[in-house]
Amino acid sequence: MSHYDGISPARSDAGSSDRGRGPLSGRVALVTGAGPGLGGAIAQALAQAGADIAICDIDEARMVTTRSAVEAAGARCWATRCDVADSAAVKRMFDEVAERFGSLHILVNNASLVPSRPQDAERRNRHYAYVSTPMPRQSLGFTSQISDEEWLRWWAVNVHGVFYCTREALRLMEPQRYGRIINIASIAGISASSVHSPHYSATKGAVISFTKAVAAEVAGANILVNALAPGGVHTPEFGAYLERIGEEERNRLWQLVPMGRLGTMEEYAATVVHLAGEHYMVGQVISPNGGMVI
C-alpha cells in the first residue's frame, strides 16, 4: 500500500496520473450514500476537481448514474454495496479501497436515513403549519410516538455508520499523515428546524459533536475533520415532496427560509470540494441554509 506523507500540499501518485488537473488531482475519495441526490452530486464534484472516487450505497442500482457521471469526468470509479451500519461490511469496503487505489485521502460520510416516508411528511406538514399559522400552543406529540426500534434504527446508520467509516479511514490516514473527513450533518443538529423528526435531529447533533472531538484529536497529523450542516437540499426526492404538498404548504415552508428557496445539490457539493482540499479549518460546522439559522 502506498502512502502520501502529508507534510506538504504536493500530490501523491495515487489515482489517475494522466489527468493532472484540478485541486484534488492525485487524491482518492470515498463517498458513502452516493446514489442519486446529494451524495451523487458530491462524488461528481470531487471527480471534476480531479479525485478518483469510491462510492457505496445499500442499493447498487442507485449508484449507476453516479458512477457514469464520475467516469464521464475522467475519474476512476469503484462502486460497492455497503450498509454502513454493519461494521464488518465497512471494514471490508475500506480494505478493498486501499487494495484498489493504494490509499485514501478523502472521506465524505454522507450515508444517512432522512425523514422521507409518508408519516415523516405528515409530521413535517403539521410542524410547518404550527410555526407559520396562528393557533393555540400545544405539544405536537412527536417524541412520545417514536418506538425503540425506530430510534435505534436511525442511530445505527446516522451515528454508528459515521463512526465505523471514520475509524477505518483514520487507520489509513494516520500512517500517511494526511486526510480530509467531511461529515454531512444537518441544520437539524444545530437548531430546532426539524422538530418533526427528533430522532433525526438527535443523530445529526451527535455527528456534529463527534466531528469536533475527532477534529481536535487528529489535526496534528494533518487530518482535517469538518462538518457540513445543510438546510433544505433540493434533491429529486424533496422536489417530488414539494410538488405533492401543493402551493399553500410550499408557501408555509418558504416562510421559514429567508432566501425563499432550497439550496441546490451543486451548491452544497462545491463546499464539500473546498473542505476536501487545502485550507485551515478544523472541527468547523459549515451550514449553508438560506438564512434559516443565522
Q: Which residues are designated catalytic? A: 200
**Ordered DSSP codes for 240-286:** HHHHHHHHHHHHHHHTT-TTSSPBPHHHHHHHHHHHTSS----S-EE
Contact between residue 80 and residue 54 where contact means Cβ atoms under 8 Å apart? yes
Residue 154 C-alpha cell reads as: 436511525
Chain centre distance of CA 205? 14
Report the distance separating Cα 9 and Cα 278, nearest Å: 7
| b (16+ CB within 10 A) / e for 61-97 | ebbeebbebbeebebbbbbbebbbbbbebbeebbeeb
- Locate 53 and state its grid cell: 472516487
> In sequence order, what are the residues at sequence separation of 6 or more whose Cβ sits closer than 8 angstroms to the Cβ of residue 52?
14, 15, 16, 27, 28, 29, 75, 76, 77, 101
| Bridge partners (DSSP) listed for residue 78 | 54
Given a contact cutoff of 8 angstroms between Cβ atoms, the answer to whether 208 and 129 are in contact is: no
